[in-house]
């Protein structure tokens, strides 16, 4: 199972790099609304994943790790908006988000390493300041 996960992750990282999503200029142009193909790529991912998740949930599909697939549904809360604002600000400043930052790092980009360090630091900080007994946020 670990080999399959590694190969799937490597293939996904290759596709991210091949689509030039680890290129600062592409993300910068996207955020300035000059690169619409990145938005189309994201929309196509949602268009494929959303119906597939609903289908698998209705079929009571079990994940490879043995648990039933359960798509979480919750109303948007204040902390979701605050988290989105922080994420969006970081994305705009760094010109990358988590997966492309890892692809940047793997290809030797220093900016990717800085962003990856910030990602892991942010997760550690979130875990430290979380309320005791609170469930971790769903991704």
Q: pLDDT tens digit string along 103-139?
A: 888 878 788 888 888 888 888 888 888 766 666 665 5
Cα dist. 118→33, 98, 114, 138 in Å? 26, 10, 6, 19
What length does the chain have?
139
pLDDT on residue 96: 82
HSE (CB half, 13 Å, CA atoms) of 79? 6
pLDDT at residue 135, as a whole number: 63
Q: Which of 88, 95, 128 is nearest to 114 (CA)?
A: 95
Kindly report, residue by residue over 3-55, the tens digit of the pLDDT. 888 888 888 888 888 888 888 888 888 888 998 888 898 899 899 999 998 99
pLDDT digit string, tens, across residues 69-106? 888 888 999 988 988 898 888 888 888 888 888 888 88
pTM over 0.75? The answer is no
User: Does residue 1 surpass a pLDDT of 70?
Assistant: no
- What was the pLDDT predicted at 133? 64
């Amino acid at each position: 199972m670990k080999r399959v996960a590694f190969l799937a992750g490597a293939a996904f990282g290759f596709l991210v790099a091949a689509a030039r999503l680890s290129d600062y200029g592409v993300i910068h142009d996207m955020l300035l609304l000059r690169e619409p193909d990145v938005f189309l790529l994201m929309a196509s991912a949602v268009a494929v994943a959303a119906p597939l998740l609903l289908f698998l949930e209705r079929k009571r599909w079990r994940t490879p790790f043995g648990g039933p697939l359960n798509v979480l549904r919750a109303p948007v809360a204040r902390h979701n908006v605050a988290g989105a604002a922080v994420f969006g600000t970081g994305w705009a400043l760094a010109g990358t988000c988590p997966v492309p930052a890892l692809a940047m790092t793997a290809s030797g980009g220093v900016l990717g390493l800085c962003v990856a360090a910030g990602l892991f630091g942010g997760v550690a900080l979130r875990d430290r300041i979380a309320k005791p007994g609170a469930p971790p946020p769903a991704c």
